Amino acid sequence: MVAADTARPLVGVLALQGGVEEHIAVLESLGAETRRVRLPKDLDGLDGIILPGGESSAIDKLARSFGVAEPLRRAVEGGLPVLATCAGLIYSARELENPAPGQQTLGLIDVTVRRNAFGNQRFSEERIVPVAMQGQWPDVETSEVGPRRTESRDTETNGEGPGSITLDIEASFIRAPIVTRVGEGVEVIATVPAPAPDTVTGGAAGEDSAACKDGAEHDGELTHPSAGHEVIVGVRQGHVTALSFHPEENGDSRLHAAWLASFAH
């Protein structure tokens, strides 16, 4: 799918529920055209799509109700690039450890995800997370937005295709999920120390945040990773990049810029 104006990529944001406007603002600050996606026709001509944070079970129900779930799945299977954040990671996963009753996912990336792995709202936090991204880097390297450190680039061994860059991103973890299993062909692009076990508890209904309010009332009994061990918070498989956290919350556009650079020419 290629937009008419290849100089300005046309990027959709799934706009059924959740943190839509923050992604729209970042994309437009980078010069991209944007479209709020609610119906199947909204997928036409997109160069990429963002699946934002919110309530993953609500996004699932609304996507099926509006008839956009299957067309979205087919578009991604046909090559549409995806950036999924927080609830978007949950919605993209092949499998959930602790789904809400009747909850379905798109199965875009071969991972298992645990909802609300960072506990309830009072344990939400911000961390600096190194994230390995792909793309062409002039715009990223000259960006003055957000915290920076020296960034590293590695081109592929055959000298073709996009290189990779590690960005230190100030990330918001808001009732965030983690990836507990990665399938064949899935690349881990970000990890952080596991949250302390006493923070990983199901919160009461109504404690959800506006940005990624994934309800915890259906979590059930889980085995939690030991505090201090690394847990997976970012994965990539093909043209689908999925993150546990919110890169759009803290005024740093570099991750979005790198994602755009991976497919926009």
> Residue 149: what residue type?
R
Work out the average pLDDT over 126-133: 90
Work out the average pLDDT over 74-103: 97
Q: How many residues does the chain have?
A: 265
Classify 231 as helix, strand or coil: strand
Identify the pLDDT of residue 202.
42
Query: pLDDT tens, 147-186?
Result: 333 343 333 333 333 567 899 998 888 789 999 999 999 9
Whether pTM > 0.85 for this model: the answer is no
Catalytic residues: 86, 246, 248
Identify the pLDDT of residue 53.
93
Work out the average pLDDT over 220-232: 59
Identify the pLDDT of residue 198.
52
Q: Where are the beta strands (DSSP E) in 71-162?
A: 82-85, 93-96, 109-114, 125-135, 153-154
